[in-house]
């Protein structure tokens, strides 16, 4: 049988504190919590694991972050090749990269810089 111990700390489920607590459990608590003990002649094995919605999101994000550059690059090339072949034009695929893909990447980088790095804090 499996027993579950639950507790709810006073942090929001997706806050930075929740992420830090998840990392702490993964890196400090889980590796040190494996053990066995005997009770009334029966051997029991104990292993703590931390599984929350935040932990699931963090695991998915780590997997996506590793694969995303390759997936997105292949997808962009594939779309440009398909559009270029539909119109029988090599230049159209290259033009799509210059006029569609690069501006989207630049806009995304600008938005990340503004909201996460605080580039526009001086503007209020």
Indicate whether 85 pLDDT > 80. yes
Instruction: Break the chain into its structural domains and give their ranges.
Output: 1-51, 64-124
Q: Say how far apart CA 38 and CA 33 lie, in whole Å.
A: 16
Mean pLDDT of the region 64-72:
90
Q: Using one digit for the tens of pLDDT, what is the confidence trace for 14-39?
A: 777 888 888 898 888 888 888 888 88
């Amino acid at each position: 049988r499996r027993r579950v111990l639950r507790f709810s700390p006073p942090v929001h489920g997706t806050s930075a504190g929740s992420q830090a607590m998840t990392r702490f459990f993964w890196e400090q608590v889980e590796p040190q919590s494996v053990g066995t003990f005997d009770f009334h002649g029966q051997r029991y094995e104990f292993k703590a694991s931390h599984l929350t919605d935040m932990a699931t999101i963090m695991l998915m994000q780590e997997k996506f972050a590793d694969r995303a550059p390759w997936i997105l690059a292949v997808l962009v090339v594939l779309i440009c090749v398909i559009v270029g072949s539909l119109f029988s034009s090599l230049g159209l695929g290259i033009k799509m990269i210059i006029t569609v893909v690069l501006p989207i990447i630049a806009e995304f980088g600008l938005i990340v810089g503004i909201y996460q790095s605080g580039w526009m804090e001086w503007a209020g």
